């Protein structure tokens, strides 16, 4: 009886499997998962079959002894020599599939050698490798990846020149549309640090420089509040509806509305103010676009003065650009002036209101009438004039009557000539440059020049 037919007293008798073969319950030669003769684990040494004698070798080798534990000396690495590199014998298809990794320098040394050896004799693969290397070079351009700030304007102009919109934006509202879009693009990627960056609003009040400290979010809240004046005139929702103190006396002007909004909002305002401001600016542009030129003469009250709607939209475009520059300066980002045709319209608005401002300053005792014409000239009559020459972007020439808001500018009665850069004139009108420091070329009546420059600075407000 051999070892396969034996069983110990503790073993079950063998049973025949489904095919009539002798075997255990699992049908595997009666071993039932154990070694021959019912041994223990897989590493046990089976007993010898048929009495004394050498035991057979184990089915699973025992762990080998480490060379470090044998006590024998370790081989000297210098005696081994440099192992000879094993050349790779790759097919054409495999080598071609490695070209992308080779172009990115991601191959092993052996693969690189095999690919470069192959490129010396395969023209099609050499051309492909050259194109891949050029493509990889485009991924590592040294230039900045920031988009050109003027890209959006160029794309829109190109699109609109090819296919005008079904409902075009009126020409007098285009500057507001452009400036709000530029500011919105600047704000798009601002994080919390930028939204809370400090900004100082500057303007002139009674010929005295005045300023107010706020944040980027506070500036947007200011624009939202003052744009709400135009929105209310058009029948849109006032952003100050429900704001405590907004209905108080004196809160109807730009400064009063802004202060009321600041007091009622979380201090300082957060990035959440961008959404309402953006939606309101879109609503203003949509509304004036639907009404077309019919609403251009609608009067918009600013509290202590009023402007026709088309001038109010220009005023808001100017204010948006000025405060966008304040924000860009606070976050150290370049910001360009408006398009020349829009800048020219903004300058023209300021020049048109200057005669009225000069008359109000004279009544308030802030300026004196001319020595030759101490009284106001009749409406429509020529009077003393100052020639304002605006150079550069948005440039032009204007004759400003000095003695009456209703007088006509006259070249024959010109008493002074002032030359200013367009952006410099706008910064003076925004209260960012003191009149005495404005970079202006001046010829003629010094008193008249001083009065006009102070009048331009007095156009500024918070």
- Write down the pTM of the prediction: 0.64
CATH 1.20.120.450 residue ranges of the chain are 167-330
pLDDT given for residue 5 in this prediction: 45
pLDDT given for residue 65 in this prediction: 60
pLDDT given for residue 78 in this prediction: 55
Q: What is the pLDDT along the chain (462 residues), one digit of tens a residue?
A: 444 444 444 444 444 444 444 444 444 444 444 444 444 444 444 444 445 556 666 566 565 565 556 666 766 655 555 555 565 788 889 988 999 888 888 888 888 889 988 888 898 999 999 898 888 877 765 566 566 767 777 887 777 677 666 778 899 999 999 999 999 999 998 998 999 999 999 999 888 999 999 999 999 999 999 999 999 999 999 998 877 656 565 567 888 889 888 888 766 688 899 999 999 999 999 999 888 666 667 899 998 889 999 999 999 999 999 999 999 999 999 999 999 999 999 999 999 999 999 989 888 888 766 555 555 677 778 888 999 999 987 889 999 999 888 888 889 999 999 999 998 999 999 999 999 888 778 999 999 999 999 999 999 988
CB 393 within 8 A of CB 423: yes
CB 342 within 8 A of CB 153: no
Q: State the fold for domain 167-330.
A: 1.20.120
CATH 3.30.1050 residue ranges of the chain are 342-458
Planar angle of CA 124, 126, 130, nearest 5 degrees: 120
Dihedral, 349, 354, 357, 363 alpha carbons, nearest 10: -160
pLDDT given for residue 292 in this prediction: 67
Show Cβ contacts of residue 19 under 8 Å, excluding neighbours closer than 6 positions: none
Radius of gyration of the chain, Cα coordinates, nearest whole angstrom? 44
d(CA 250, CA 265): 19
Q: Tokens 């002007």, residue?
A: 253
185 to 179, 209, 402, 431: CA distances (angstroms):
10, 31, 41, 25
CATH number of 342-458: 3.30.1050
Q: Greatest CA span in the chain, whole angstroms?
A: 147
- A 10 A CB-CB count for 73 gives 7
């Amino acid at each position: 009886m051999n070892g396969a037919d034996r069983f110990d007293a503790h073993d079950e008798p063998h049973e025949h499997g489904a095919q009539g073969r002798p075997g255990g319950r699992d049908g595997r030669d009666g071993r039932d998962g154990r070694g021959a003769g019912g041994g223990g684990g897989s590493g046990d040494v089976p007993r010898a079959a048929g009495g004394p004698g050498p035991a057979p070798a184990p089915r699973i080798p025992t762990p080998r002894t480490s060379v470090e534990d044998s006590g024998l000396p370790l081989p000297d690495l210098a005696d081994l020599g440099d192992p000879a590199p094993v050349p790779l014998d790759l097919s054409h298809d495999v080598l071609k599939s490695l070209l992308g990794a080779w172009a990115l320098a991601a191959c092993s040394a052996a693969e690189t050698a095999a690919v470069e050896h192959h490129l010396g004799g395969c023209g099609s693969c050499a051309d492909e490798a050259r194109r891949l290397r050029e493509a990889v070079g485009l991924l590592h351009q040294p230039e900045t990846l920031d988009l050109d700030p003027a890209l959006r304007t160029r794309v829109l102009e190109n699109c609109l020149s090819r296919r005008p919109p079904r409902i075009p934006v009126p020409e007098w509202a285009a500057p507001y549309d452009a400036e709000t879009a530029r500011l919105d693009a600047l704000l798009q990627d601002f994080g919390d640090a930028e939204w809370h960056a400090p900004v100082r609003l500057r303007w002139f009040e009674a010929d005295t420089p005045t300023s107010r400290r706020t944040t980027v979010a506070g500036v947007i809240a200011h624009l939202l509040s003052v744009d709400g004046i135009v929105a209310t005139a058009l029948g849109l929702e006032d952003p100050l509806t429900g704001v405590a103190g907004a209905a108080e006396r004196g809160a109807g002007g730009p400064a009063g509305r802004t202060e009321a909004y600041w007091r009622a909002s979380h201090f300082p305002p957060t990035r959440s103010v961008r959404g309402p401001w953006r939606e309101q600016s879109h609503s203003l542009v949509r509304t004036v676009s639907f009404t077309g030129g019919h609403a251009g003469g609608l009067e918009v009250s600013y509290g202590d003065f009023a402007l026709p709607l088309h001038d109010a939209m220009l005023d808001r475009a100017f204010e948006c650009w000025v405060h966008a520059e304040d924000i860009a300066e606070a976050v150290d980002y370049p910001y360009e002036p408006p398009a020349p045709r829009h800048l020219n319209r903004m300058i023209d608005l300021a020049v048109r209101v200057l005669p009225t401002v000069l008359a109000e300053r004279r009544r308030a005792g802030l300026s004196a009438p001319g020595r030759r014409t101490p009284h106001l000239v009749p409406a429509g009559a020529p009077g003393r004039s100052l020639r304002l020459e605006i150079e550069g972007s948005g440039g032009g020439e204007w004759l400003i009557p000095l003695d009456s808001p209703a007088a006509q500018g006259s070249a024959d009665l010109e008493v002074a000539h002032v030359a200013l850069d367009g952006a410099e004139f706008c910064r003076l009108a925004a209260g960012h440059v003191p009149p005495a420091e404005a970079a202006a070329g001046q010829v003629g009546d010094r008193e008249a020049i001083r009065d006009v420059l102070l009048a331009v600075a007095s156009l500024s407000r918070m």
